[in-house]
Every structure is written in C-alpha cells, then in structure tokens.
Amino acid sequence: MMMIGISVAFVLAFTLFPCAALHLRPGKSRTRRDLVNTVTALAVRLVRRHGTATLGVFSALTVLGLAGMSLLSVENRFLDYFKESTEIYQGMVLIDRKLGGTTPLDVIADAPDGGKTRPSPPAAGFVEDPFAAEPGSNGITATSYWFNTAKLDQVDRLHTRLAELPHTGKVLSIATTIRLLRQLKDQDNVDNFFLSVLYESLGGGLRNLLIAPYLSPDGNQFRFAVRIFESDSTLDRDHLLADIRRRLTEEPDIDPEQVHLTGMLVLYNDMLHSLFRSQILTLGVVFAAILLMFAVIFRSLRLALVSILPNLFAAILVLGLMGWLGISLDLMTITIAAISIGIAVDDTIHYVHRTRKEFRRERDYAAAIARSHANIGRALFYTTLTITLGFSILALSSFVPTIYFGLLTGFAMLTALVADLTLLPLLLARLQAFGKPAPAQTG
C-alpha cells in the first residue's frame, strides 16, 4: 500500500502540482535570514572549519552506537506495550499477579517411541477363563504409558517442580485431576484399577473436562498447561524454557526428544528471536538495495559507497540509542531502522545530485557545498521536519511500541539530516567523490 501511495504522490508531483502552479502568480525572490538558513550555514561552517573535529564526533558517535547495538535485546514484556493507565494493562496485571499468570505455555511429553514399544497386556496364562478375551478389560492403565500410578507419580513430581519455578503461575495437568481425587477421597484408594475404572466411568463431558486436556486418548502423551507471570520484570523466556526442559529431562525415562514446548510463550519467544535474526538480514538487504540504487543513479560505486555512510550512521545511532535506553526490539521497533533509512535516503540523493551539479560548474568542493546547503539544504530541512513531525504524532498512541516507533523514526530522520548536511559533504570533499577539483583549488 505504501508503494501505491508513493507512486500516486510521484505522479501528482509531476502533473497536478505543475498544473496548479501555472495558475499562480510568481512572487518576488527574496533572501531571508531564518532558522533554516542558520542551520545550513552552521553546517557549512562545520564542514569548512571543523571538518576533522566533526569527523571525530561522528566516529565517536558511531562507536557509541555500535556499543549500544550490542545491548539490544528482544526480551520484552507484552504488558509493557500498553500504558499503565490503560484498562488492558490494569486487567492484565490483575490476571497476571492475582489470578495465576497470563501467557500460556504448553509442556508436552511423549512416551518413549511414542508408546509403540509399550508391551501388550499379558495373557492370563494357563488358567482357563472364557471371559478373559474381552476387549479393553485390562483397562487403560495397562496400555497407557503415563496413565498409571507409577508414571502419574512422576508426572505429579514434575508438576510440583514446574509450579515451584518463580515465573510460573497456575499449572494444570493430569496430576491436578488425580490430586483432586485424592483430596476428595482416601488417597490410598488410587491404584491402577481405580484409575482404569475412573477413566471408563467418566462420561464424555467429564473426561473432556478432567482428563482429555492433559492426556492423549491413548494415554501416551501428557501435557502441562502452564501460565507464566508476564508482568515479572525478571522474566527471561529463553532461560525459563531451558530450565523447564532441563527439569523434565532430568527425570528418568524422559529423553530430550520426548519433550515439546509450545504455546503462546514459545510462539512469542520464537517470534522475537526470529525478528532479531531478520533485523540483521533486513538491514543488510536494505543497505545492499540502496547501494545498488546509488550506484545506478550516480553511476559510480565509489560515490555510492560514500553516499550510503550517512544513512548507515543514522541506522547505527538509532539502534544504539535503543540499546542504551533498554528499548527492546519488537514487532514495531524492529522496523524503525529500515523504514527511516528508506525515507532518509531521499535527502542523500537530492544532496549528492545537487552538489555534483554545483561541483561541475567550478570544480570547487567548498563552493559547491555552500551553494547546495543554501538551496537544497532548505528543502531537506523542511521535508525531514515534516516527516519527523508526522511520525511524532504516533507519540499520542496508547500502544507503547507505536510511540517508540514514531519518536525513534523521527530521531533517525533528524540524525540522517544532520549527517547529510555535515558528514556527507565532508566525505564528498575529502574523498573527492566527484573527481579532482580544479587545479587552482588544490593549492
């Protein structure tokens, strides 16, 4: 949709706008001393008189940005997506802290080999019994790997070990059902015969309620339904999942391949980690595409490489700032760097194109830079300011990632503008990106 919008704006800019402009009377040209002029003039002064210092500042900021990037994390709380004053935040905190946690986690354990190695119920032997061959007469405890007293004790032990973790809230499993039965009645009465009869006697409704959610129909797979305290600031999902897996596999007869972790917690955790991995890939692709585009537009790989540096700086700085401020990467913030660079690259193209044009007049870098700042600099300033203000509107959102997205994208745009007005001309001049200046200028 963004592509369609940009395409429409592009067409209108070359059709509707000139048509409308033809009906306007041209005003008198006048030179004004305003904020924009002050800013662009300051940038020119920095480039001319304090070039080395400016480069030093950019280098230092780049190092700081890279250091901040190393602090970036994907560990964030869904709860923090909302302001404390919102109903959804307060509701989630109530459920989380008072009602046993919010984020569901399913811990599933298979029987070894999926229960295929489970021996068949033994025959009656040599004793004659005409009724012995009745199907199912052994009961589910004879065929199920988990639904028998020995294994249910193990499940109960695991249930306790999961429930005692500081980040787990309510834990439900087949052990919950058995504990309920033991509380209701003499616990000694729970043996395999009791369990088998119980399983058969529970009608479809009760079995679906008490057993089916936690045990597969063949009894060879059980499930812990765990809810996690999402509001706990010490929650480290990776560590928690590893701890749960370890606790299960420490039990005898439970191998790692039998244990499966799934549910919202895992989904959310995997999503964030894949976001982190894709962040690197996305940024790489974005910069490669921009580099290619620059190389085609400017017909110079050297100029393309120089031109991309201010944008790279802006991306490093915004990601570094997120790292230093402890803002985690999430669905929204992960896109900030790529989107802001995609927009800010406009400024670079405009500036490089204009400066090259100015340079060709006298082959004087200083003069070309000064003239570019005086005219195209104003356009860059206004467009960047407009876009930044537009994104800043998102700060009014109740959804915190949207607020971060708006403010940080604005920050990245402003950073890119500063880099385009200072770092970019410095690099163009010092690296002689448009070629050697006229001989009179070299001396």
Partner 1 sequence: MQTLPARLCLLLVLACCSQAVPAGNTDPEQLMRGATNDILTRLDASPQLTKNRAELIQLIEQEIFPLVDFTRAARLTLGHYWKGAGDKQRKRFISEMRRLLACTYSTAFSNYVGQKVEWLQPRWSADRNYVEIRVRILQNSGSPVPVAYRLWKNNGQWKLYDLVVEGVSLVANYRSTFSQRLQEHDLNALIDELAAHNAQRCGSGG
Nearer Cβ to partner 1 (35/123):
123
Residue nearer to partner 1 on the CB measure, 140 or 171 = 140
Pick out residues in 242-261 that bind partner 1 (CB under 8 A).
Answer: none
Strand arrangement of the beta sheet that strand 168-172 belongs to: 168-172, 221-228, 103-110, 259-262
Rule CB under 8 A: is residue 403 a binding residue for partner 1?
A: no
Residue 86 CB contacts under 8 Å (≥ 6 apart), including other chains = 398
The b/e string for 117-150 (b: 16+ C-beta within 10 A; e otherwise) is ebeeeeeeeeeeeeeeeeeeeebbbbbbbbbbee
Comparison of 8 and 180: residue with beta carbon closer to partner 1:
180
Pick 56 or 136: Cβ nearer partner 1: 136
Distance, in Å, from the CA atom of 131 to the CA atom of 163, rounded to the nearest integer, reads: 45
Q: Binder to partner 1 among 196, 220, 328, 388 (CB under 8 A)?
A: 196
- In whole angstroms, how close is the CB of 93 to partner 1 at the nearest point? 37
Closer residue to partner 1 in complex, CB, 190/295 = 190
Interacting positions 103-122 with partner 1 (CB under 8 A) = 119, 121-122
Q: What angle do CA 231, 171, 274 make, to 5 degrees?
A: 55
Contact 167, 229 (CB under 8 A): yes
Q: Does 201 bind partner 1 (CB under 8 A)?
A: yes
- By beta-carbon proximity to partner 1, the closer residue of 204 and 443 is 204
Return the residue of 29, 85, 188, 233 that touches partner 1, per CB under 8 A. 188
Tokens of 87: 């109903």
Query: Across-strand partners of 313?
Result: none
Given candidates 176, 192, 311, 384, which one binds partner 1 under the rule CB under 8 A?
192
| Minimum distance of partner 1 from residue 163's CB (angstroms) | 23
Binding partner 1 (rule: CB under 8 A), the pick from 206, 292, 389, 431 is: 206
Give me the least distance between CB of 199 and partner 1, in Å please.
8
**Nearest distance in Å: CB 243, partner 1:** 31
Please identify which residue in 181, 225, 349, 374 interacts with partner 1, judged by CB under 8 A: 181
Taking CB under 8 A as the criterion, the residue among 17, 113, 164, 193 binding partner 1 is 193
Task: Using the minimum distance from each CB to partner 1, give the nearer residue, 139 or 323.
Answer: 139
Distance CA 83, CA 94 (A): 15
Q: Determine, following the binding rule CB under 8 A, whether residue 439 of this chain makes contact with partner 1.
A: no
Q: Does 219 bind partner 1 (CB under 8 A)?
A: no
Size of site (CB under 8 A) for partner 1: 40
Taking Cα atoms as reference points, which of 347, 126, 38, 76 lies closest to residue 232? 76
Which residue, 54 or 138, has its beta carbon nearer to partner 1?
138
Interface with partner 1 (CB under 8 A), residue from 55, 163, 165, 202: 202
CB count in 10 Å sphere of residue 397? 14
Give the nearest distance from C-beta 113 to partner 1 in angstroms.
Answer: 16
Of the candidate spans 185-193, 338-346, 358-366, 430-438, the one that interacts with partner 1 by CB under 8 A turns out to be: 185-193
125 binds partner 1 (CB under 8 A): yes
Which x/- pattern, by CB under 8 A, does the window 126-165 give for partner 1? Answer: xx-xxxx-x-xxxx-xx-----xxx---------------
d(CA 180, CA 195): 13
| Shortest reach from residue 222's CB to partner 1, in Å | 18
Window contacting partner 1 (CB under 8 A); options: 179-187, 228-236, 306-314, 369-377: 179-187
* Site residues (vs partner 1, CB under 8 A): 119, 121-127, 129-132, 134, 136-139, 141-142, 148-150, 181, 184-186, 188-189, 191-194, 196-198, 200-203, 206
